[in-house]
Amino acid sequence: MTTMTAQTTQVYSIFIKATPEQIWDAITKPEFSHKYFYGSYVTVTPEAYRGLDGEGGDLVIGTVLEYEPPARLVHSWSAMYDAEVAGEDASRVTWEIEAQEGGYSKLTVVHDQLEASPKTAESVARGWSYVLSGLKTLLETGEPLAG
């Protein structure tokens, strides 16, 4: 339908009825991530970001650049989930979590440094809204997004 080139800096923002700590856990722990992140098992340590499939194969790997629980996480992003994106340069993902009124938190995801990675840019442009919508549903209802 569209032939647009995907953006090289992509910004996504969502309000979630959860604490920053709950959101941080959902981003950094595999028992949460596999319920909303295309089934991937994500583990984040102060050094590394790693998303695995059910068999232990790498889907996304990254070096953690900033690690400030529960407010800020910055890591590089090398996608391995298909051959087209696997050959591209690493890009960068920034997660910002800010507490809001009424028990809400605002989560902002910035995926940038995609200039040399057009296939990755296109792939994640289709994915982030779905992932964040699923994260919100999981934290607010305890259930993965239906369908």
Partner 1 sequence: MTGVDDDPVFKALADPTRRHLLDRLFERDGRTLTELESELAMTRFGVMKHLRVLEDAGLVVTRRQGREKLHYLNPVPIRLVHDRWIDKYTERRVSALADLKNELEETA
CA-based nearest residue to 108, from 16, 10, 12, 20: 12
Figure out which of the listed residues 17, 35, 72, 92 binds partner 1, where binding follows CB under 8 A: 17
- From 5-13, 40-48, 61-69, 70-78, span contacting partner 1 (CB under 8 A): 5-13
Figure out which of the listed residues 15, 89, 98, 116 binds partner 1, where binding follows CB under 8 A: 15
Distance separating alpha carbons of residues 30 and 48, to the nearest angstrom: 14
102 binds partner 1 per the rule CB under 8 A: yes
SS3 114: coil
141 binds partner 1 per the rule CB under 8 A: no
Figure out which of the listed residues 104, 118, 122, 123 binds partner 1, where binding follows CB under 8 A: 104
- From 34-42, 57-65, 80-88, 128-136, span contacting partner 1 (CB under 8 A): 128-136
Question: Omega of the bond prior to 69 within 30 degrees of 0, cis?
Answer: no
- Looking at the chain, list the stretches that DSSP marks H as alpha helix, in order from N- to C-terminal side: 20-28, 30-33, 83-86, 118-141
19 binds partner 1 per the rule CB under 8 A: no
Whether residue 96 contacts residue 66, with contact meaning beta carbons closer than 8 Å, is answered with no
Which two structure tokens, joined as six digits, stand for 74? 């910055």
Figure out which of the listed residues 110, 113, 118, 123 binds partner 1, where binding follows CB under 8 A: 110
The letter for the amino acid at 115 is E
Residues at the contact surface with partner 1, assessed by CB under 8 A: 4, 7, 9-17, 100, 102, 104, 106, 108, 110, 128-130, 132-133, 136-137, 145-147
